[in-house]
Chains A and B, each alone.
Chain A
Amino acid sequence: MANLELNLLKLKNACAQPRLQLEHYLAEGKKVIGCFPPYTPEELVHAAGMIPLGLWGGNKEPVLAKSYLPPFACPIMQADMEFGLTGAYKGLSAVIIPTLCDTLRCMTQNWRFGMKSIPMIPIVYPQNRKSPASIEYLIDEYETIAAVMATITGQMITEKALCGAIEIYNEHNATMNNFSKVANEHLDIITPTIRHIVMKSAFFFEKAEHTTVVKEIIYELQKLPVYKFTGKKVILTGITCEPNELLKIFEDNSIAVVGDDLAQESRQYRTDTPSKGGAMKRLALQWNARHGCSLVHEEGKPRGSMLLKMCQDTSATGVVNCLMKFCDPEEYDQPYFEMDLKNGGIPTLTIEINQHTASLEQISTRIESFAEMI
C-alpha cells in the first residue's frame, strides 16, 4: 500500500508541476521535445534519444497570447501560447505540432514567429486514409521530422532504435489499458481524479519509466480485495476532463469514471503499432488504424456505437461529453453520438471544458442532477 501511495504521489506531482519534470530531464543531460496534442509521434522523439513532454495547456489566463489568437480559439492553444511566451517552456529543444484542426494549423505559424527560441516541427497527418498513397505520404512526413530531430541531437535515428521505441510504446498502451480495467475493481482508490492523474502523467515521463510506475500501481491494486462500488458509473468522452476541481465534483456525487474516450487519456492508447514491416511504415499504419476520434476523418460517425459498447463493457449508465470550448471537430460529432446514445438508452450530459474557468458552480449543479438521472 505504501508503494501504491508513493507511486500515485509521484504521478500526481508530475501533473501538478510538469516544469519540474522538464528540469529533471534537462539536469540528466537529456534533450526534451514539447509535444502539442494530440497524436504527436512520440516514438520518433524517443528513438532520437530525447524525452517527449506533452503540452496540454493549463490554468493560465491568456495575456500575451491575445496578440496571436482571438478569444474564440481553443483554450489549450491559448494556454500553450501563453506558457511559451512567458518562458514556462524554456529548455525545450523544439515543439512538434500536429495540424489536426484549423486552430492547430494556425498554431504552427504563431509558434514559428512568436516563439523563435523554440523551433517548431509540423506534422500534417493524411486524412484520406482509404487512399493507399496516404501511407507513403505519412512516411515522408515522419522522415522529415526524423531529419529535423537529427539536427538537434547530431545523431540519426536508427531502425533498431525506432523499433525499440515502438515496443516501449506498445507496452505502455497495454499497461494503460490494463490499468483502466484493474482500476474499475478499485474505485474507492482510483477516484476520477486519481484515474485522470495516472492517465495524464504519461505525458511527463519517459514512457518505459511511466510503464514501470503504472505496472507497480496495478500490482499493488491487484493485491487488494475487489471493492464493491455502489455509486454511479460513467464514461467520459471529449478532449480532456480538467481541472481536478471538476473531477472532484464527480467524486462528491458518488460518480466513478469507468472508462474514457478522451484525447488526453485512452484515445491515444487504443491503437497499437502493428508488428511487421519497416518501423516508419509501421507507425504510418498505426495512424491508419486509429478510429472513433473527432480529429481523424472517418465515414459513418462511428463514435456513438463505440461509446455504447464501452458502456456495455463497463456497466456505465451514463456518458459525460466533456466538450472543449471552441473545439469544432468535437462539436460536429456531438449531435450524432448523443443521438446514438439516446437511442441506446444511455443518458448524456454535456459540460463545457475551459481550463481557465474558475467557477464550476453551474457544472456542479448539472452533474448533481445527472447523477440522479442515471
Chain B
Amino acid sequence: MDDVKTINEVPVAKPKRPKAKSMIMIGEQTKALFDSAIAAKEKGELVGWSGSIFPQEIAETLGVVVLYPENHSAGIAARHQADPFLQECEGPLGYSNDLCAYAKVNLAYATVLAGKSSVELPDGGKMVKPDFLLLTNNICNQLTKWYENLAKQLNIPIFFIDTCYNPWDHVTESRVRYVRAQIDQLIADLSAFTGKKWDDERFKEVMKISQRNSYLWERANNLMDRKPAPLSGFELFNYMSCMVCNRGKESTTAILEQLNSEIEKHIADGTSTYPTKENYRVSWDGIACWPYLRHNLHTLKEHGINMVASSYGKAWAIEYEDLDGMARAYCFASTNGDNATTMISRRLEALKKFGCEGTIYHVNRSCKVMDCQMMEVQRQLSKLAGVPFTSFDGDQADYRNYSEAQFETRIQGLVEVMEQNKEGK
C-alpha cells in the first residue's frame, strides 16, 4: 500500500519531445560561426560585425567572418542575461534608457571587449572584438547611430550601404542606382581592407546558395498554411539565425532542407509540434519578445493559439538574380524600410494565406520604427481582412518593459472576439 502511495505521489515527468535534427544542426551552425570568428582572430584575420539585413553575400564571397550584434543581443536577452549590460549602458556609459535594447546590450558588451568595463560576459566573449562594421539602415535609423558609436569606441571603419527609407509603393530606380553604386564600392573597399580577393565565380555560387536558402526558408514558412499547422509557430524564430547570420552558406541549405522534410513528415503523418489542439490561428507582428518568449508561448498555448504567420521572419527571404536585383531586394526586404501600403499588403496576403483569425501586435518599446505607424496599419488591416487584433507592451531585449498580466488579459480579450467570430460563422 505504501509503495502504491509513493508511486502515485511522484509526479510523472512528461516525456520530453526529442529535439528535431534540424534544431541540433542550428545549434552546431551557431557554434561553428562563433568558433570560426575566434579561429580567424587567432590567424590574424579581420572579423566584422554586421547589421542583420546587410548584403552578407559580399563578405561570404570574400571569405570574411562576420558576426551579428542584433542576433547576439537577442540571444543574451532570451537567456535572461541582459540586465548587467543594460545597467552598464544606462549607468557608467551614460546612454538613455529610451534607446534600442539590442543596441544597449551590444554597446555595453563592446565596452567590455575594449577593456573599459568589467561586466562579466556570460558567453566568455564569443562575440569577438570586430575590426570593421557592415552597416545598413533598411532595419532602422537607430542602427546608423549605434554603429557610429561602435566605430568611435573601437576605432574601426564602417562600410555602409544606405538603402534609404522607401515611402513609395515600389523601389525607385534612383534608389537602385544609389545602392548598386554602394555595393560596387563596398566590394572594392572591403577587398582592399581585408586583403581578400574578389572572385566573380565564387560570388555567383554564393548568390545561388543564398537564393536556394531564401526559397527553402519561404517554403518552410509557407507550409504553415496547413490546418492544423505542422509546427508550433514560435519554433520558426529558432531558425532565424541561419537566415540572419548564415544566409549564403551551404550549412543553411542543409538545415532548411532538413526542416522542410521534417515539416513534410508532420504533414504526411498528420502530426504537429504544436503541443495542444490548435483552436485559433494568429499572425504575430513585430520582433519576438525574447525575454518572455516562454510566457508568450505558454499563454497562447493555454488558449490553443498557434502563431502561424509572422511579419518579421520572412524579411530574410531575399530574392534576386544579379547585383541590380540585389540592390532592389535589399531596399525592399525589411518590413521596417517599407511604407504602410506595402506593410499592409504583405500582411493582408499572409493573413489570408495562413487562415489567420487574429493578429497580435508587439508594441516593442525598443523599436520606434515598428511602433510609430503600427496603429494605422492595425486599423486598416483589421478592416481589410476582417480579422481582430490585440497589442501588448513588450521589448525585444529589455525585460523591464513587459507585464505578464497585461499580456494574459489582452490575449483573453482577443480569444473572446475570435470565439464570437467563430460562432458567427
- Is A85 an interface position by the 8 A CB rule? no
- Is B164 an interface position by the 8 A CB rule? yes
Of the listed stretches B29-37, B144-152, B201-209, B348-356, name the one at the interface; the rest are far from the partner chain: B144-152
User: Given B165, B181, B185, B376, which contacts A114 in the complex, CB threshold below 8 Å?
Assistant: B376
Within B190-234, the residues touching A (CB, 8 Å) are none
User: Given A106, A323, A329, which contacts B145 in the complex, CB threshold below 8 Å?
Assistant: A329
Please give, as numbers and ranges, the residues of chain A lying within 8 Å of B339 by CB-CB distance: 108-109
Question: How far, in whole Å, are A323 and B94 apart by their CA atoms in the complex?
Answer: 13
- Is A225 an interface position by the 8 A CB rule? no
Of the listed stretches B69-77, B154-162, B304-312, B406-414, name the one at the interface; the rest are far from the partner chain: B154-162
Shortest distance from the beta carbon of A103 to any chain B beta carbon, whole Å? 5
- Is B187 an interface position by the 8 A CB rule? no
Using C-beta atoms within 8 Å of the partner chain, give the interface range for chain B: 35 or more
- Is A110 an interface position by the 8 A CB rule? yes
Which residue on B lies nearest to A143, using beta carbons? B174
Shortest distance from the beta carbon of B194 to any chain A beta carbon, whole Å? 18
User: Given B141, B149, B164, B182, which contacts A101 in the complex, CB threshold below 8 Å?
Assistant: B141
- Is A124 an interface position by the 8 A CB rule? yes
Within A311-353, the residues touching B (CB, 8 Å) are 323, 326, 328-329, 331-336, 338-339
Per-residue CB contact flags for chain A residues 87-118 toward chain B (1 = under 8 Å, else 0) read 00000000000011111011111101110000
Per-residue CB contact flags for chain A residues 127-165 toward chain B (1 = under 8 Å, else 0) read 110111110110011000000000000000000000000
Please give, as numbers and ranges, the residues of chain B lying within 8 Å of A112 by CB-CB distance: 340
Shortest distance from the beta carbon of A333 to any chain B beta carbon, whole Å? 8
- Is A52 an interface position by the 8 A CB rule? no
- Is A362 an interface position by the 8 A CB rule? no
Question: How far, in whole Å, are A157 and B140 apart by their CA atoms in the complex?
Answer: 33
Shortest distance from the beta carbon of B243 to any chain A beta carbon, whole Å? 23
User: Given B181, B372, B374, which contacts A107 in the complex, CB threshold below 8 Å?
Assistant: B372
Q: Across the interface, do B94 and A133 meet the contact criterion of CB distance under 8 Å?
A: no
Using C-beta atoms within 8 Å of the partner chain, give the interface range for chain A: 35 or more
Question: How far, in whole Å, are A69 and B368 apart by their CA atoms in the complex?
Answer: 10
- Is A73 an interface position by the 8 A CB rule? yes
- Is A185 an interface position by the 8 A CB rule? no
Question: How far, in whole Å, are A126 and B374 apart by their CA atoms in the complex?
Answer: 25
Please give, as numbers and ranges, the residues of chain A lying within 8 Å of B149 by CB-CB distance: 301, 332, 335-336
Per-residue CB contact flags for chain B residues 50-94 toward chain A (1 = under 8 Å, else 0) read 000000000000000000000000000000000000000000011
Of the listed stretches B1-9, B95-103, B268-276, name the one at the interface; the rest are far from the partner chain: B95-103
Please give, as numbers and ranges, the residues of chain A lying within 8 Å of B113 by CB-CB distance: none
Shortest distance from the beta carbon of B361 to any chain A beta carbon, whole Å? 11
Q: Across the interface, do B181 and A298 meet the contact criterion of CB distance under 8 Å?
A: no
With A124-B167, A331-B99 known as contacts, the answer to whether A297 contacts B144 (CB < 8 A) is yes
Please give, as numbers and ranges, the residues of chain B lying within 8 Å of A109 by CB-CB distance: 167, 339-340, 373, 376
Q: Across the interface, do B98 and A102 meet the contact criterion of CB distance under 8 Å?
A: no
Q: Across the interface, do B160 and A297 meet the contact criterion of CB distance under 8 Å?
A: yes
Please give, as numbers and ranges, the residues of chain B lying within 8 Å of A297 by CB-CB distance: 144, 148, 160, 162
With A124-B164, A133-B178, A299-B158 known as contacts, the answer to whether A334 contacts B372 (CB < 8 A) is no
Shortest distance from the beta carbon of B345 to any chain A beta carbon, whole Å? 13
Which residue on B lies nearest to A120, using beta carbons? B167
- Is B26 an interface position by the 8 A CB rule? no
Question: How far, in whole Å, are A322 and B319 apart by their CA atoms in the complex?
Answer: 44
Shortest distance from the beta carbon of B187 to any chain A beta carbon, whole Å? 13
Please give, as numbers and ranges, the residues of chain A lying within 8 Å of B141 by CB-CB distance: 100-102, 105, 328-329
Please give, as numbers and ranges, the residues of chain A lying within 8 Å of B367 by CB-CB distance: 102
Please give, as numbers and ranges, the residues of chain B lying within 8 Å of A130 by CB-CB distance: 160
Per-residue CB contact flags for chain B residues 371-398 toward chain A (1 = under 8 Å, else 0) read 1111110001000000000000000000
| B interface residue numbers (CB < 8 A to A) | 93-96, 98-100, 137, 140-142, 144-146, 148-149, 151-152, 157-158, 160-162, 164-167, 172, 174-175, 177-178, 181-182, 185, 339-340, 363, 365, 367-369, 371-376, 380
| A interface residue numbers (CB < 8 A to B) | 67-70, 72-73, 77, 99-103, 105-110, 112-114, 122, 124, 126-128, 130-134, 136-137, 140-141, 294, 297-301, 323, 326, 328-329, 331-336, 338-339
27 pairs, A vs B, C-beta closer than 8 Å: A69-B372, A69-B375, A70-B371, A72-B368, A99-B165, A102-B141, A102-B368, A105-B141, A105-B167, A106-B369, A109-B340, A122-B167, A126-B178, A128-B160, A133-B182, A134-B162, A137-B177, A140-B174, A141-B174, A300-B152, A328-B141, A328-B142, A328-B368, A329-B141, A332-B149, A335-B94, A335-B95
